[in-house]
Amino acid sequence: MTPPPPSRLPFFVYGTLRPGQANHLLVDGRTAPPRPAVLPGALLYAGPGYPYAVAAPADPAAEPDTDTDTVHGELLDVLPDQYDTVLADLDRLEDHVPGARGNLYERLALRVVCDGQQCDAWVYLAGEELARTLRSSGRIIPGGDWVRAQRAHRPS
């Protein structure tokens, strides 16, 4: 039996919580400097003003497609004295209530890669109902990087 992950994990952010994005102010000054990281085995879908990460379908015969099966973002290590309030603020932002059904996002402990090392981090993935809808009719963000995709669509 695998023990549960520690509760004070860093956060992997891939959308509006990234530096320079609209909701980064919620964490700015309450974390160590962000570090580039990736979430393998996930797809990134465009949403209305923000993205949704969804676990990639498990197909043992398929080779991973690094152009779509990886989400790019940053790893945020929350300052110890700020952890509880940051966790509550992020759960509220992501419309996540631990243990509740029908959350917009689910907060999961997942393995990410940062500085060439694997580590566990909290990641907000689209909730189950939304994930089904996205898989059937959503638009995948090529390359799995929402910030880069946003820049590519802005007029010069």
Q: Look up residue 51 and give its two tokens.
A: 């993205």
pTM, two decimal places: 0.89
Q: pLDDT value at position 1?
A: 47
Nearest CA to 11 out of 116, 82, 69 is that of 82
Nearest CA to 9 out of 107, 121, 119, 108 is that of 121
Q: pLDDT value at position 40?
A: 96
Burial code of 14-39, b = ≥16 C-beta within 10 A, e = fewer?
A: bbbbbeebebbeebeebbeebeebbb
Q: In whole angstroms, what is the distance from residue 153 CA to residue 55 CA? A: 25
Q: In whole angstroms, what is the distance from residue 90 CA to residue 96 CA? A: 8
Q: Return mean pLDDT, the chain.
A: 89
Nearest CA to 14 out of 62, 68, 69, 75 is that of 75
Q: Look up residue 112 and give its two tokens.
A: 């990410």
Query: Is a pLDDT exceeding 70 seen at residue 138?
Result: yes
